Chains A and B, each alone.
Chain A
Amino acid sequence: MRYAMVIDTKKCVGCSDCVVACQTENKVPIGYCRDWITERVEGVYPNIELELKSERCNHCENAPCVRCCPTGASHIVDGGIVLVTADECIGCGACIESCPYDARYQHPDGYVDKCTFCHHRLEKGQLPACVEVCPTKCMYFGDLDNPNSEVSQLLKRRKHKTLAPEAGTKPHVYYLT
């Protein structure tokens, strides 16, 4: 089992519903977020391309945050999900520095926090809150090890990319282009 998220940039309108849904689902304090929208514009008017997409922790297979964590608070659980054990986290910020995706933040309560792929929802057989709420249904979630899963099928069929592949982190969030 290797969980992955696949996001179709052809459909994302950058509305930020994923961001609010995550905040209400995971009680992320106002002023902080576990996921966010980026906008990339290329070209000169009127020959422009715009890419909007939702970003978050990439739940890397080769996760620098886990390797550098002095207490082991950052760890990988079944399904390849990277989690932080809050009461083991000393808030040193090494993982924040090491993450090529800027995906972690320091929670006002002192520990480092980030996307969990809504681990608690997965355990109940639900999708991550962001995936479930997205009005354009541009986000897909599933098991990469299952060749018949929607995510595997989409990655087989469509052109895609990951963020900062040069970092060698083997991310589990894919973008259809």
Chain B
Amino acid sequence: MSTSRRKFIKISALGFSGVAAASSLGSMGINTYLDDLITDNSLAPLKQIPTYCEVCFWKCAAWAHTDQQGNIQKIIGNEVDSHCYGRLCPRGTGGVGMYSDNDRLKTPLIRKIINGETTFVETSWEEALTLISTKMASLKNAHGAESLALLKHGSPGKHFEHLFKAFGSDTIAEPAYAQCRGPRETGFGLTFGSWVGSPEPTDIRDTKCLVLIGSHIGENMHNSQVQEMSDAIDNGATIIAVDPRLSTAASKSQHWLAIKPSTDIALLLAWMHVLITEELYDKDYVAKYASGFKQLREHVQDYTPEWAYGITTIKPEEIRKTARIMAAAAPATIIHPGRHVTWYGDDTQRARAMAILNGLLGSWGRRGGFYFKEKIDIPKFPHPPYPKPKWGWEEIGENYPFAEMGITNEVIRNTIPSKDNKYPIKAWFVAGTNLNKSIPNKKLLEEAIDALDFMVVVDTMPMEVTGYADVVLPECTYLERYDALRSSPNRNPSIALRMPVAKPRFDSKPAWWMAKQIGDRLGLHNHFKYDDYKEVIAWQLEQMGTSLEEMEKIGVKNYKRKSGPLYLTQGQDYEFGTDSGKIEFYSPQLAAMGFDPIPKYIPHPEPQNGYYRLNYGRSPMHTFSRTANNPNLNDLKSENDLWVNPKVARILNLKKGQYVWLENQDGIQSTFAIRVRVTERIRWDSVYMVHGFGHDNKKLTNAHGKGISDTELVTKVAIDPLMGGTGMRGNFVKILTEEPAKTALV
């Protein structure tokens, strides 16, 4: 929040409604009124109820505090949780607003045509659930269960995934894969035989050198990473930030490499060149654990820092110096895999280059590099085996041989009827993901939605995607429900409980309940043998040597590691998860499929005159588009602004605070206006904004029309040929100072 104090004073002056009577003269040392006020608030014992956060998907365990009336007062971190070390981020602290938001979806809604007009009508759960199950059954009869697709994210997604698999459909995808972190999983997977996963097993706490390539720790509040980066700063670690923009992390770095956008692979190759030609790489580690070093050495021979300078605009001596710093700190050096890595369509190869660099530095499995993560398996609550679908996400993604999860864009493509569509999709169930703000190429998305026979949306808020649904189901927030136990990989395994802190507001219901109700109506009772999800958790906890009763008291339970030490020990024999059991610098798998076995630098398109590259990122107080309306978080940041370099502002005669519109290379214009922020923190060839604003649903009263949506301007999408990721940083915009709608009318 770049809070303007002036604005703040102005607001408070407007809010001034009356004058308290002066009852007595001041008495130094006593503050009676305030003390009374505070006594009311703080001395009455607050009840602590365990939960884990769902404002983003880091899933930090927390304590929700309620007063004697049961009102939620505040939420703070659970001190024994390795996801949060007792501290939440602003989103977690502002989780209260997710509950209190009066714009929430309140009752089930059904699309109806009344007097020739399509509208949503409030309905009962009974009617909504019966309609959904009837429709699902008839679509299954006509086209097979596979024709129903689930697009999901987060905790609600898990419950519907169970429903879908029981029903016979594995047509499941989430934008978190092909629109976010998929490329790095494939890139690191091909190199080390292991996914990075979430949370990333980066040993930032003990690192001596943290290299961030377009990774905005601090702007993305991935909690434990932010905390560990702060510890690393205390410990004197060197931060090297590669970013065309002076991100928050770049401002904390000793070496900010202000790279020309889209040229990162050239820098990575030049770094490899320096490490290899100057023999700075970890020779013992490479000899013992890696394969393909000779091919790599030959491959990077010509990729000199001088070669990279012409591409990246980073001076050769800067490239050499930073490579030497990384090597000196190694193996306690982390080339961070990043998150939201779908940029230019060759993202898996960029991730590969980052993975190889980590391999050369010997940082995988080493203190201060990457630790070996461990999680605890939650016992599966007994249910009959899932039927085997004829096709599912794997077949849909068959053009992308290295995809390891459903590709949302391919689900969208297969929804649009065509004669050679082998996997026709007829219905969508969308849970916890506002597709309109996460999927680029709006036209394609709308074409697919148009073609659907049936669409259900489950959300807590009237997100844009709900507007397209046939049935909208109001989910209660994470503060109002039991949910699946959290078990995530970390240095030590742990589990966390989420239980209701308050009763569901309005007529909202937990996702597990909806899934069960639909399942029961579809005759899948055996997959839902419980009345309350609490029974599932209780059973699982018993198997794990604890109980619901205990977990309700402690919230988080930590377990001992069973898989061995966090790091490789000196000279340890170790088999990586790749085919060869080695870290694969040269990938035979990629070679066999006709892809570059070692990453190459390939130039990407650049903006035409008058256009600027559209870059986007995160703000620490918001998650995707889902928090823009949260009253507490909206209060911190209610709209995004357009970062413009002062030189550009001078040329275009833009003033700070002025509202402008954007038009991309395909003539797509922004729906709303965005405020200009003139700042040296950005290059002159790009503009930047925070993602997740520009809501066009009027029912989001705090967020509607505030700022613009970067996603709607992303219409040119370079697809990653390996895993189907949608590269979204190749769009260019020009800045319009007049409202285009008005101009068009004239």
Partner of A33, one of B8, B258, B621: B8
Q: Which residues in window 6-33 of B have CB below 8 A to A?
A: 8-9, 11-13, 15-33
Q: Which residues in window 658-703 of B have CB below 8 A to A?
A: 679-684
A111 at the interface (CB under 8 A from B): yes
B37 at the interface (CB under 8 A from A): yes
A1 at the interface (CB under 8 A from B): no
Whether B3 contacts A71 by the Cβ 8 Å rule is no
Whether B5 contacts A13 by the Cβ 8 Å rule is no
Contacts of A110 in B (CB 8 A): 16-20
Chain A 128-168 interface mask (CB, 8 Å, partner B; 1/0): 00001111111000000000000000000000000000000
Expressed in whole angstroms, the minimum distance between the Cβ of A125 and any Cβ of chain B is 13
Contacts of B223 in A (CB 8 A): 135
Whether B3 contacts A37 by the Cβ 8 Å rule is yes
Number of B interface residues in the complex (CB < 8 A)? 81
Question: A132–B74 Cα gap in the complex (Å)?
Answer: 13
Q: Which of B131-139, B321-329, B629-637, B733-741 contacts A (4 or more CB under 8 A)?
A: B629-637
Question: A86–B251 Cα gap in the complex (Å)?
Answer: 41
A121 at the interface (CB under 8 A from B): yes
B48 at the interface (CB under 8 A from A): no
Question: A15–B88 Cα gap in the complex (Å)?
Answer: 11
Known A-B contacts A10-B233, A46-B256, A102-B5; A17 and B89 likewise in contact (beta carbons under 8 Å): yes
Expressed in whole angstroms, the minimum distance between the Cβ of B238 and any Cβ of chain A is 13
Whether A135 contacts B22 by the Cβ 8 Å rule is no
Contacts of A177 in B (CB 8 A): none
Expressed in whole angstroms, the minimum distance between the Cβ of A11 and any Cβ of chain B is 5
Question: A49–B8 Cα gap in the complex (Å)?
Answer: 26
Question: A132–B578 Cα gap in the complex (Å)?
Answer: 44
Chain A 52-63 interface mask (CB, 8 Å, partner B; 1/0): 100000000000
Expressed in whole angstroms, the minimum distance between the Cβ of A78 and any Cβ of chain B is 7
Whether A69 contacts B26 by the Cβ 8 Å rule is yes
Expressed in whole angstroms, the minimum distance between the Cβ of B313 and any Cβ of chain A is 9
Whether A87 contacts B227 by the Cβ 8 Å rule is no
Known A-B contacts A71-B25, A87-B33, A133-B76; A13 and B636 likewise in contact (beta carbons under 8 Å): no
Contacts of A78 in B (CB 8 A): 29
Expressed in whole angstroms, the minimum distance between the Cβ of B375 and any Cβ of chain A is 23
B218 at the interface (CB under 8 A from A): yes
B226 at the interface (CB under 8 A from A): yes
B86, closest chain A residue (CB)? A132
Question: A37–B27 Cα gap in the complex (Å)?
Answer: 33
Partner of A135, one of B39, B221, B679: B221
Expressed in whole angstroms, the minimum distance between the Cβ of B227 and any Cβ of chain A is 5
Chain B 464-505 interface mask (CB, 8 Å, partner A; 1/0): 000000000000000000000000000000000000000000
Contacts of A49 in B (CB 8 A): 251
Whether B631 contacts A30 by the Cβ 8 Å rule is yes
Question: A31–B97 Cα gap in the complex (Å)?
Answer: 13
Whether B635 contacts A30 by the Cβ 8 Å rule is yes
Known A-B contacts A71-B26, A137-B230, A138-B230; A13 and B219 likewise in contact (beta carbons under 8 Å): yes
Expressed in whole angstroms, the minimum distance between the Cβ of A79 and any Cβ of chain B is 11
Contacts of B637 in A (CB 8 A): 16
Partner of B31, one of A19, A83, A106: A83
Known A-B contacts A11-B230, A32-B8, A120-B38; A50 and B251 likewise in contact (beta carbons under 8 Å): yes
Whether A11 contacts B233 by the Cβ 8 Å rule is yes
Whether B20 contacts A90 by the Cβ 8 Å rule is yes
Partner of A88, one of B25, B96, B217: B25
Expressed in whole angstroms, the minimum distance between the Cβ of B110 and any Cβ of chain A is 33
Known A-B contacts A27-B41, A32-B8, A41-B680; A136 and B19 likewise in contact (beta carbons under 8 Å): no
Contacts of B1 in A (CB 8 A): 14, 16, 19, 36-37
Q: Which residues in window 90-131 of B have CB below 8 A to A?
A: 90, 93-94, 96
A7 at the interface (CB under 8 A from B): no
Contacts of B645 in A (CB 8 A): 45
Contacts of B683 in A (CB 8 A): 45
Whether A109 contacts B34 by the Cβ 8 Å rule is no
Contacts of B75 in A (CB 8 A): 24
Chain A 16-44 interface mask (CB, 8 Å, partner B; 1/0): 11011101110101111100111101011
B543 at the interface (CB under 8 A from A): no
Whether A85 contacts B29 by the Cβ 8 Å rule is no
Whether B620 contacts A90 by the Cβ 8 Å rule is no
Which B residues form the contact surface with A (CB < 8 A)? 1-3, 5, 8-9, 11-13, 15-35, 37-39, 41-42, 73-77, 87-90, 93-94, 96, 217-219, 221, 223, 226-227, 229-231, 233-234, 246, 248-249, 251-252, 256, 258, 620-621, 631-633, 635-637, 645, 679-684
**Ranked 6 nearest A-B pairs via Cβ:** A72-B26, A13-B218, A15-B620, A50-B251, A46-B258, A87-B33
Which A residues form the contact surface with B (CB < 8 A)? 10-11, 13-17, 19-21, 23-25, 27, 29-33, 36-39, 41, 43-46, 48-50, 52, 69, 71-78, 83-91, 96, 102, 105-111, 116, 119-121, 124, 132-138
* 16 A–B contacts, CB within 8 A, in A order: A16-B637, A24-B75, A25-B74, A31-B635, A36-B3, A41-B246, A43-B680, A48-B681, A50-B248, A85-B32, A102-B5, A106-B16, A108-B16, A116-B34, A121-B42, A135-B89
